[in-house]
Structure formats: structure tokens, C-alpha cells
């Protein structure tokens, strides 16, 4: 599997990344770099990681997602994880993982809402 299979779409100033169902470790690492490069190239303010297709979120994958979110934060962006399946949410919690401080939403729609609200608040401030 290569990162060519990972779709990165820009919606306004937000990057929408769809994570494939069962990526290997190399793909997960490559994804991180691809996303960070895209943040800069597209002058993005936010990142949505759509994990609706992901059936297995093990500790390596979860740690890489949490790390990516911290890296994006260093670049001034905000990350939202969208679409976690119920079975993945149960397993992730029982495995003892946390995704740190990353926000998560039920789906991409709500992630867009959340990020746009964050943008408004920033303008008001």
C-alpha cells in the first residue's frame, strides 16, 4: 500500500484526509508526512482525519494519529478525528488507549461544523 491511495481533499481552508481500511505501518507513517506537507502547501487551518473505514485501530495507529495532531498543532492547525466506528471506540477504550487531546466527531459533517466554529471564535478573539 502506498500513500497514493490516501485521498487528501481541500475544503476551503480545511484538509480532509480519508484513511484507508487496513493500512500497514509504513502507510500510517507516510500518511503523517503527507498530511504535514499538505498543511503547508495548501495553507490549511484545520485537518479532518476521516477514519470511518478503519476497522482496526491498534496502539501504533492510535499513537501515530495523536502524534500527527500534535505536529499539526505546532504548525498552527487543529485536528478532528471523524467517524470512528462503535466497535473501534469500544476496542480502543478497552485496550487502554487515549487519543490525547484530539477532538473527535461522529462524522465529517460535524467535524466541518466544529472547525468552522473554531475559526469564528478565533476571528472574534
Partner 1 sequence: MISAEQGTAPVASESDIVTVRKISREMATQMGFGITDVTRIVTAVSELARNIYRYAGTGIMQWQIINRNGIQGIELSFVDQGPGIPDLALALQPGYTSSDGLGMGLPGSKRLMDELEIESEIGTGTTVTIRKWLRGTSY
Phi, psi of 11 (to 5 degrees): -115, 110
Pick the piece of the chain touching partner 1 (CB under 8 A) from 11-19, 36-44, 56-64, 72-80.
Answer: 56-64
Which 68-87 positions form the footprint of partner 1 (CB under 8 A)? 85-87
**Cβ contact 97:62 at 8 Å:** yes
Candidate residues 73, 97, 99, 103; the one interacting with partner 1 per rule CB under 8 A: 97
Task: Supply φ then ψ for residue 17, to 5 degrees.
Answer: -115, 125
What is the maximal distance between C-alpha atoms in the chain?
43
For partner 1, the closer of residues 94 and 120 by Cβ is: 94
Measured from the CB atom, the residue of 94 and 121 that comes closer to partner 1 is: 94
Helix%, strand%, coil% for the chain, nearest 5: 50, 20, 30
5, 90, 101, 117: which one binds partner 1 (CB under 8 A)? 90
Q: Are strands 14-18 and 7-11 parallel, antiparallel or unpaired?
A: antiparallel
Give the count of residues interacting with partner 1 (CB under 8 A).
23
Q: Does residue number 56 form part of the binding site for partner 1 (CB under 8 A)?
A: yes
Query: Please, what is the minimum distance in Å from the beta carbon of residue 94 to partner 1?
Result: 5
Q: Nearest 5°: CA angle at 17, between 16 and 19?
A: 150
For partner 1, the binding residues (CB under 8 A) are: 22-26, 55-60, 62-63, 85-88, 90-91, 94-97
Amino acid at each position: 500500500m502506498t500513500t497514493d491511495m490516501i485521498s487528501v481533499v481541500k475544503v476551503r481552508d480545511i484538509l480532509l484526509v480519508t484513511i484507508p481500511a487496513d493500512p500497514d505501518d509504513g502507510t500510517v507513517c507516510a500518511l503523517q508526512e503527507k498530511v504535514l506537507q499538505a498543511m503547508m502547501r495548501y495553507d490549511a487551518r484545520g485537518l479532518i482525519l476521516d477514519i470511518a473505514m478503519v476497522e482496526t485501530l491498534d496502539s501504533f495507529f492510535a499513537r501515530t494519529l495523536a502524534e500527527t495532531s500534535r505536529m499539526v498543532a505546532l504548525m498552527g492547525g487543529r485536528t478532528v478525528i471523524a467517524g470512528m466506528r462503535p466497535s473501534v471506540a469500544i476496542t480502543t477504550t478497552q485496550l487502554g488507549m487515549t487519543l490525547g487531546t484530539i477532538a473527535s466527531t461522529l462524522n465529517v459533517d460535524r467535524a466541518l461544523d466544529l472547525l468552522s466554529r473554531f475559526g469564528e471564535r478565533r476571528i472574534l478573539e
